[in-house]
Amino acid sequence: MGRIVRLLTSNATVVVSGTKIADEIGISRSEVWRLVQQLRKLGVEIAGHPATGYQLRTIPDLILPEMIEPPLRGTIFSGNIHHYYKIGSTNTAAMEAASEGAPEGSVFLAEQQTAGRGRGSHDWHSAQSVGIYCSIVLRPPLPPGESLLLSLAAGLAVRAAVQELCPSLELDLKWPNDLLVAGKKFCGILTEMNAEVTRVRYIVVGIGINVNQASFPPDLAETATSLRLATETEWSRVELCAALLKSVDREYRALLENRDAHDSILKRFQQRSSSVRGRAVQIEENGGFEGVTEGLDSCGFLQVRTSEGLRIVLSGTVKLK
């Protein structure tokens, strides 16, 4: 289907015959008709039928490999992008693929997730073609203790990508890697790994971005937002997804290649988060505790000053008070 969309996109002003599409892609004309029908069901507006040929009415904002590959040449993701119209969870697919040997830089993208997973035991609301649901397989030569840094770097990468497309938008990072706009969450990151005690075998960084949602179910409406709601404009998911992967590529290469990357990630995260220092918080971990944030430790864990002394948050949810 991706190849049909690409072909129609590059001939956007003309009617393309079913025979031409069939020949270029190497499938039968009846198969072209079947795929066109499927694309229509997914909301791609294609005029015509087998006798007249086909023409795109609007350029679809589907995050197909064919649409996002060109700007990704030279990155670790080039040639490694898998796209699904509907899947349970891209993180589950990426973890399975990694366990079967998928190379570093493999990317799993979906238009819709039916079992999108968040941190802890939360779900991730993943409606069709309004968000970016993206999971990336990495095989960094790092000890497992440094994986949190990679996750913080992913948050910085999302922030940079969104700012590249909309420099005036004020964004906030909430430890460990939520992204907020106007006090509400528009992006979450679920980092999962398979490791030995001293060596990471593979890490999957799963990124969910609320891009073009016009509203949210009542249970999320108080806390969740989308880039569209925040800016009152429709965003191109294709452009944002390409910017995101380029940005992750930059952060990841820096982490592996630059001696000072570790300190730079900690420093930039603290600069770009309004809540890692001096903020009253409630931590939902080990029965729960509260205190005031006091920056990140050298591994990237959040430090909280409580009435009993300094405590380190390992994995609990941080509630801003």
Q: How far is the CB of 49 from ligand BTN (least distance, A)?
A: 36
Cβ proximity of 255 and 245 under 8 Å:
no
> Which one among 34, 122, 305, 319 touches ligand BTN, defined by CB under 6 A?
122
Alpha helices in 48-196 (DSSP H): 65-68, 90-99, 147-165
# of chain residues touching ligand BTN (CB under 6 A): 20
Judged by CB under 6 A, which stretch of 21-29, 84-92, 139-147, 227-235 contacts ligand BTN?
Answer: 84-92
Q: What would the two tokens of residue 269 be?
A: 């995260």
Exactly one of 83, 117, 237, 268 binds ligand BTN (CB under 6 A); which one?
A: 117
- Residues 125-164 as x/- pattern, contact with ligand BTN by CB under 6 A: --------xxx-----------------------------
CA distance 146 to 299: 7
Binders of ligand BTN among 204-263, rule CB under 6 A? 206-208
Q: Which residue in 215, 203, 195, 224 sits closest to 122, CA to CA?
A: 224
Exactly one of 60, 65, 116, 176 binds ligand BTN (CB under 6 A); that residue is: 116
Q: Which amino acid is at 180?
A: L
Distance of closest approach, residue 291 Cβ to ligand BTN, in angstroms: 22
Looking at this protein, which amino acid is placed at residue 175?
W
Candidates 30-38, 110-118, 150-158, 165-173: pick the segment binding ligand BTN (CB under 6 A).
110-118
What are the Cα distances from residue 240, in Å, to 67, 173, 270, 276? 12, 18, 24, 27
Q: Among residues 31 and 104, whose Cβ is nearest to ligand BTN? A: 104
Task: Using the minimum distance from each CB to ligand BTN, give the nearer residue, 133 or 252.
Answer: 133
Give min distance, CB of 14 to ligand BTN, in A: 37
The single residue among 56, 189, 238, 241 that binds ligand BTN, judged by CB under 6 A, is: 189
Amino acid 300 reads G
Query: Rounded to the nearest whole angstrom, what is the least distance from the CB of residue 136 to ligand BTN in the complex?
Result: 10
Bridge partners (DSSP) of residue 133 are 110, 208
Contact residues for 37 (Cβ-Cβ < 8 A; gap 6+)? none
Provide the b/e sequence for 32-53 (b: ≥16 CB within 10 Å).
Answer: bbebbeebeebebebebeeeeb
Task: Tell me 315's DSSP state.
Answer: S
Q: How far apart are alpha carbons 99 and 172 in whole angstroms?
A: 34
Q: How far lies 1's CA from each of 67, 94, 113, 126, 296, in Å?
A: 12, 22, 19, 21, 46
Query: Which residue in 89, 151, 213, 226 binds ligand BTN (CB under 6 A)?
Result: 89
**Least distance from C-beta 300 to ligand BTN, angstroms?**
17
| Chosen residue from 77, 124, 186, 202 binding ligand BTN by CB under 6 A | 124
Of 64, 103, 72, the closest CA to residue 245 belongs to 72
Which of the stretches 8-16, 99-107, 188-196, 258-266 binds ligand BTN when contact is defined by CB under 6 A? 188-196
Compute how many other C-beta atoms are within 10 angstroms of the C-beta atom of residue 148. 21
53 makes contact with ligand BTN (CB under 6 A): no
What residues make contact with ligand BTN under the rule CB under 6 A?
89-91, 113, 116-119, 122, 124, 133-135, 178, 188-190, 206-208
